[in-house]
C-alpha cells in the first residue's frame, strides 16, 4: 500500500495538462500528446507483461518507476512539444511495465503465503489508495507550483517516482516453480494453454470490459459542470466522487462474499445511478455519480480477483497484460458513447457490460471444494 500511495504522489499528475498549455501548446497538440501516450501503452502492454513473466515482476515495477522518472526529467529539462512527446513515450512504456506485473506480484506473494483468498481485499485497498492519494497530491502540487513553478513540480515528481522504484526493490518475489504451463515451454504456447483453461478467456474479456468503463473518470469534471456545479467547486465535486470510489474499492472484499448473481446487479445499479446523475442537477447529481462510481469499483476489483484466481503463475503478468490491452481498446467504446450522448450513453454501456459479464463473477472452486452455484 505504501508503494501504491508513493507511486501516485507525483505532483505533476494534476498539473500536466496546464503545463502543456502554459508552455505554449495548443489544445489539438495536447490531444495529440494524449493519443501518443495511449498508443504507446497499447503497443507496450503485452510485451512488457511477457518481460515481467520471463524476467522479474519486481524488476518490472522498479524499471517502470525509473522510466516514469525519466519521462518527467524530459518534461522538466526540455519543455516543448518534442520533450513532452518523448516523455509520454517513456512514461507509457513504464506504465505498461507496472500494469501487469503489480497484480501478478501481489497475487503470487499472497499465494506463496497461502493467503490468496485475501487478494480481493488487498487489491481493493490498493485501488482505494490510488484514489485517496489524489488529495495530498493536489495539495502538494498547489504548494510546489506556487513556490517554484513547474520546474519544482517536475523535479519533486522525479524524486517520488525514484522513491517508489527504490521501495519496489524491497518487495519479496516468490521463486518461480515449473507447472503444467511453466517456463519450460514457449511463452506463446503457455499463454494459449492458459486462455483455453475453463473460465480464463471469459474472465479476461470481463476484466477488459469492466476496466474500460473506468474511462468515465476522465469526464467527471465535465459532468459536474454540466450538472450546474460552479467551476470553482468542480474540483471538490470530483474529489467527492473519487473518495466514494475509494470506499467502494475498499469494500470489495465484502462484495466478493455476495452471491455471484448479485455482482451484475450492483453494476446495473451503478448504470442506473449514472443515468440519474446525468439527468439531475447540483448536489443530488454529484451524489448519484459518486455512489455509481463506488459500486462500479467494487465490482471491478472483484472481477480482477476472479481473473487472478484462474491464471497459472508462469504467465500471470502476460495474461493480465492481455486484459490490460483489452481495457485500453474498450475505453474507445466509452469515448464513442460519450460523443454519442454523453453520460446517458455511457450508462447504457455500463448496463450492457453488466449483462455480458454476468457469468464471469463465479469464484474458482478450490480443489475438493463444492463448486459455487449461487
Per domain, the residue ranges of the chain are 2-168, 192-360
Say how far apart CA 327 and CA 207 lie, in whole Å: 8
Q: Tell me which of 172-176, 183-187, 261-265 is least confident.
A: 183-187
| Residue 198 confidence (pLDDT) above 90 | no
Q: Does domain 2-168 have CATH number 1.20.1250.20?
A: yes
Provide CATH code, domain 192-360.
Answer: 1.20.1250.20
Task: Please give the average per-residue pLDDT across 281-303, as a whole number.
Answer: 95
- Quickly state the pLDDT bin for 242 (edges 50, 70, 90): very high
pLDDT of residue 315: 86
Q: Name the pTM for this structure.
A: 0.82
- Quickly state the pLDDT bin for 368 (edges 50, 70, 90): very low
pLDDT of residue 369: 42
Cell numbers at 362, concatenated = 463465479
Query: Do the domains 2-168 and 192-360 sit in the same CATH topology, yes or no?
Result: yes
- Quickly state the pLDDT bin for 170 (edges 50, 70, 90): very high
| Residue 182 confidence (pLDDT) above 70 | no
Q: Report the percent of the chain where pLDDT is more than 70.
A: 91
Cell numbers at 30, concatenated = 495536447
Say how far apart CA 356 and CA 203 lie, in whole Å: 11
Cell numbers at 78, concatenated = 526540455
Cβ-based neighbours of 91, under 8 Å, separated by 6 or more? 37, 67, 68, 71, 72
CA atoms in the 13 A half-sphere facing the CB of 173? 19
Q: Let me know: does 61 contact 96? Beta carbons within 8 Å.
A: no
Cell numbers at 29, concatenated = 497538440
Amino acid at each position: 500500500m505504501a508503494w501504491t500511495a508513493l507511486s501516485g504522489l507525483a505532483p505533476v499528475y494534476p498539473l500536466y495538462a496546464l503545463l502543456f498549455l502554459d508552455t505554449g501548446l495548443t489544445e489539438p497538440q495536447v490531444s495529440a500528446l494524449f493519443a501518443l501516450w495511449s498508443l504507446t501503452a497499447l503497443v507496450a502492454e503485452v510485451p512488457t507483461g511477457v518481460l515481467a513473466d520471463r524476467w522479474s515482476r519486481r524488476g518490472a515495477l522498479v524499471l517502470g518507476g525509473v522510466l516514469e522518472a525519466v519521462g518527467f526529467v524530459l518534461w522538466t529539462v526540455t519543455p516543448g512539444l518534442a520533450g513532452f512527446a518523448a516523455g509520454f513515450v517513456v512514461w507509457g512504456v513504464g506504465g505498461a511495465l507496472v500494469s501487469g506485473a503489480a497484480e501478478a506480484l501481489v497475487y503470487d506473494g499472497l499465494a506463496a503465503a497461502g493467503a490468496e483468498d485475501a487478494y480481493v481485499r488487498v487489491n481493493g485497498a490498493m485501488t482505494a489508495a490510488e484514489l485517496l492519494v489524489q488529495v495530498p497530491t493536489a495539495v502538494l502540487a498547489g504548494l510546489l507550483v506556487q513556490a517554484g513553478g513547474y520546474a519544482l513540480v517536475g523535479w519533486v515528481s522525479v524524486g517520488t517516482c525514484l522513491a517508489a522504484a527504490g521501495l519496489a526493490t524491497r518487495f519479496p518475489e516468490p521463486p518461480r516453480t515449473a507447472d503444467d504451463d511453466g517456463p519450460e515451454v514457449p511463452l506463446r504456447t503457455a499463454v494459449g494453454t492458459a486462455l483455453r483453461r475453463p473460465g480464463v478467456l471469459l474472465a479476461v474479456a470481463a476484466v477488459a470490459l469492466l476496466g474500460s468503463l473506468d474511462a468515465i473518470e476522465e469526464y467527471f469534471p465535465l459532468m459536474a459542470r454540466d450538472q450546474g456545479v460552479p467551476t470553482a467547486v468542480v474540483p471538490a465535486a470530483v474529489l467527492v466522487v473519487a473518495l466514494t470510489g475509494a470506499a467502494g474499492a475498499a469494500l470489495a472484499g465484502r462484495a466478493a462474499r455476495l452471491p455471484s448473481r448479485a455482482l451484475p446487479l450492483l453494476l446495473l445499479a451503478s448504470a442506473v445511478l449514472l443515468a440519474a446523475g446525468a439527468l439531475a442537477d447540483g448536489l443530488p447529481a454529484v451524489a448519484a455519480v459518486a455512489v455509481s462510481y463506488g459500486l462500479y469499483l467494487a465490482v471491478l476489483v472483484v472481477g480482477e480477483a476472479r481473473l487472478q484466481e484462474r491464471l497459472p503463475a508462469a504467465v500471470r503478468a502476460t495474461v493480465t497484460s492481455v486484459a490490460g490491452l483489452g481495457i485500453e481498446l474498450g475505453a474507445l467504446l466509452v469515448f464513442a458513447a460519450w460523443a454519442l450522448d454523453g453520460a446517458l450513453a455511457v450508462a447504457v454501456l455500463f448496463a450492457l457490460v453488466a449483462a455480458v459479464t454476468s457469468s464471469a463473477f463465479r469464484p474458482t472452486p478450490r480443489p475438493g471444494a463444492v463448486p459455487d452455484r449461487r
